[in-house]
Structures are given as C-alpha cells and as structure tokens.
Amino acid sequence: MRKKIFFLTGTTGLLGSYLLKILLQKDHKVYVLARSRNNQTARERVKNVLSFWDKDFLNENKIRNCEVIEGDVTQINLGLKFKQLVSIEKNVDEFFHCAAVTKFNLPLNKARKVNFYGTNNVLSLALKCKKIYKVNHISTAYVCGNYSGVFFEKDLNKGQNFLTTYEQSKFEAERLVEKFRKKGLWIDIFRPPVIGAETNSGKILSSQAFFQLLRLWCLELFDIFPGEETSFNFIPVDSLAKIVINISGNSFRINQNYHPFNSKKIFLKDILNISSKFLNFKKPRLITFEEFKKVKISRVKREILDLNVNFLDRHSSFNSFETCQFLKKYNLSLPNFKKNDLIRTLSFFKKIYYE
C-alpha cells in the first residue's frame, strides 16, 4: 500500500513538531514548511526540534523523507518557488495546518496575519492540489471565547466575545474554513485545549504557556494570584498527536470538528499546590478573577498576567462526544490527567531552569 504524502505547516511548534516526528516514524514523506531564523536555516530548525523529541533524528537517514521548504504562510503561495509549488500540487495527499501565533495579546492585525490570512493562503494552495484528500486544520478549544455553557463540537458562533486576540483570530479562521468547505475541500478541524508535556519524558517546548506560568510562580512576584475557581482542559502533546493522526487516517466523515481531549477539567489550585511543593517556591494565595480586578498592583504585573493567565478566566465546558465515539471503534480513549504526568513535567522544568 502506497504511503501518503503530507504537507505540514507549523513544524517548529509544539504539536506540529510532534506530528512530524510520528509521520516520519511511520515512513511517510512530508513536505515541511519552515522559515530561517536566528542564524539557523529552515532545515536546521526542523532538525533541532525533532532531535529535542528524539536524538535519533540527528541521523540524516531518519529524516530522509522530510523535505524542508523555506516559506511563510503569510505570503501568497506561501512564498514558494514555482518548482516547489508544482511538486506540492502534483504529489501531496493531505495537509496538516498547524502554523499559528499563540501569543495571547498581540495586536489583532498581527494575530490575523498568521492565523487568518495565513490559513487563507494554505487553504488556497490546497485547492490547487490535484490529489488532495483532506486538510487537517489545527484550531483551539478557545474559539468558544467567553461563552458560558457547554460548547459542542458542531458549535462555533454562539454570540461569544473573546478574551484574547489569539482566540478571536482562530475563531475567524474557522469561519474561513467553512467557506473553503463550500468550495469542495474536505477540512477537519481539531480544537485542542491547553497542551501539556510528553507523557513519559515530561518534555515540552519551553515557550509554552504552562512553562511561562511555572516561571512566574517561581519568581514569587505575587503574594496573591487570580484563579481560585479556575479549571481548564488538558492533554499531553503525544496523546493529542496520536489522536489527530488516528482520526485523520481512519475517518470517512467529511468536514468534522473534533474536541480531542477529555472533558474533565483540572483545577489551577491543584496544579499550584503540587508545583509549589515540588519546586519549593512560596505559594501565592489564590483569589477569584473578580476579586483580583479590585487589587492594586503595578501596571507591569498586570501586563504580565494579561500575557500568561487571564485567558483562563472563562466559564465554558466542552463536549467531546463525537470524538469519543470515533475513538471507541479503535479501542482508544481520551486520557485523564494524572498527577505523575505533572511531576514528570516539573522534573523537566527543574532540569532546564535550575540545574
């Protein structure tokens, strides 16, 4: 049976890099879109992030099926050369679109540049592909915005407002997906929540929101902290990647939305309690977000929280019924959060920042 040929964006990000790892391990050919940055070529950046997950990828033979292409989702035709475009349009079976800016409070026009217009450019290229089977669009559970209630997989526009420019631009990208579906593209949407570390190793890219939160606590800048009643959904990156690939490879229902995570939430206070004991920092007292709004703190501290915490101030819950039903066919299930998963992540964090 012929192996599929994939096109992948967002390769140096958390989920994108893990998807690439699995696809290469399954011996698929993958066209990888990446940019040069910080005096590193696009290929060097891709190889570095792959070796972060598995040192075996330092062996060139392990990445023989990885064709790294210099490009940028914000440019027309992704900034690709004519021969590269022809090769992709002729050969690619399936897209994974993971590229996104995930900073929560960029100016809206900057968030849209990648998350909305970049998605438009990727989907426009997919329309030109002759063998295209489907596009897997990685969105976020937080397109729900400030919606208060149960957010189902079929839901999108519930009259919600948005806490961050990130989630607003991702919501707008999903509206764009709806238009491209009407043009004949099969596009499945995956909406992950907070993405956690690799289950067995505790590894996570240090730029992720959870690491920033831990660094904030360890600095002991706050005696009180918002989030007494805060809870959120969570899934390890390896579990998420495997679920996305499993659904992608086995689903025959077109244009589906998936919530690939357990609907059971984790409380911020539990994360704080475990983290403070393990990392030995002074635990701030948690209060509600409403109470915290009345607290007088410096502008700098307020801005730090806007970037790292305030996106959790929401009251929605998520239904993952369709995803669960699909996974049952393959004797799979959505993982529950386990204390040992957090301990492994804290161990990795401690090694990176304190050893």
Per-residue model confidence as pLDDT tens digits over 316-339: 999 999 999 999 999 989 998 888
54 and 10 fall within a common domain: yes
Which stretch of DSSP H or E encloses residue 182?
helix 165-182
Beta bridge partners of 226: 287
Task: Please measure the distance between the N-terminal and C-terminal CA atoms of the chain and give it in whole angstroms.
Answer: 48
Q: Phi/psi at 101 (nearest 5 deg)?
A: -95, 130
Burial code (b: 16+ CB inside 10 Å, e: under 16) for 70-91 equals bbbbbeeebbbeeebbebbbee
* Residue 10 within a domain: yes
pLDDT, tens only, 225-266: 999 989 989 899 999 999 999 999 999 999 999 999 999 999
Render pLDDT for 282-316 as a digit per residue (tens, 0 to 9): 999 999 989 998 999 898 888 888 777 777 778 89
Q: How many domains does the chain have?
A: 2
| Whether residue 240 is found in the same domain as residue 220 | no
Look at residue 1 in the predicted model and tell me its pLDDT: 47
User: Considering Cα of 75, then 81, then 86, then 92, what sign does the dihedral take?
Assistant: negative
Tell how strand 134-138 and strand 94-97 pair up: parallel
Alpha helices in 2-142 (DSSP H): 14-25, 42-53, 82-91, 108-115, 117-128
Give domain status of residue 246, yes or no. yes
If asked whether residues 160 and 34 sit together in one domain, one would say yes
Query: How many C-beta atoms surround the C-beta of residue 216 within 10 A?
Result: 19
CB 134, CB 6: distance < 8 Å: no
**CATH number, domain at 83?**
3.40.50.720
Judged by DSSP in three states, 5 sits in strand
Integer-rounded Cα radius of gyration of the chain: 20
Question: Is the domain of 54 the same as that of 142?
Answer: yes
Which amino acid, residue 228?
A: E
Q: For residues 136 and 278, state if they share a domain.
A: no
Q: How do 285-287 and 234-236 pair as beta strands?
A: unpaired
Q: Are 256 and 137 found together in one domain?
A: yes
Q: 3-state class of 33 per DSSP?
A: strand
Q: Note whether 48 and 180 are same-domain residues.
A: yes
Q: Could you tell me how many residues make up the chain?
A: 355
Domain extent, residue 151, equals 5-196+234-263+316-339
Does residue 283 belong to any structural domain of this protein?
A: yes
Q: Write down the pTM of the prediction.
A: 0.95
Handedness of CA 99, 102, 108, 110 (dihedral sign): negative
| Same domain, residue pair 138 and 215 | no
Residue 161 has pLDDT above 80, yes or no: yes
Query: In this structure, are 299 and 248 located in the same domain?
Result: no
The string of pLDDT tens digits covering residues 11-21 is: 999 999 999 99
Dihedrals φ, ψ of 139, to 5°?
-110, -140
The residue type found at 273 is N
Q: What is the pLDDT of residue 352?
A: 85
Q: Mean pLDDT throughout 147-159?
A: 96
* Residue 138 phi, psi dihedral angles, 5° rounding: -90, 115
> Could you give the dihedral angle defined by the CA atoms of residues 14, 20, 22 and 28, in that order, rounded to the nearest 10 degrees?
170
Residue 60 lies in a domain: yes
The candidate with the shortest Cα–Cα distance to 35, out of 10, 66, 14, is 10
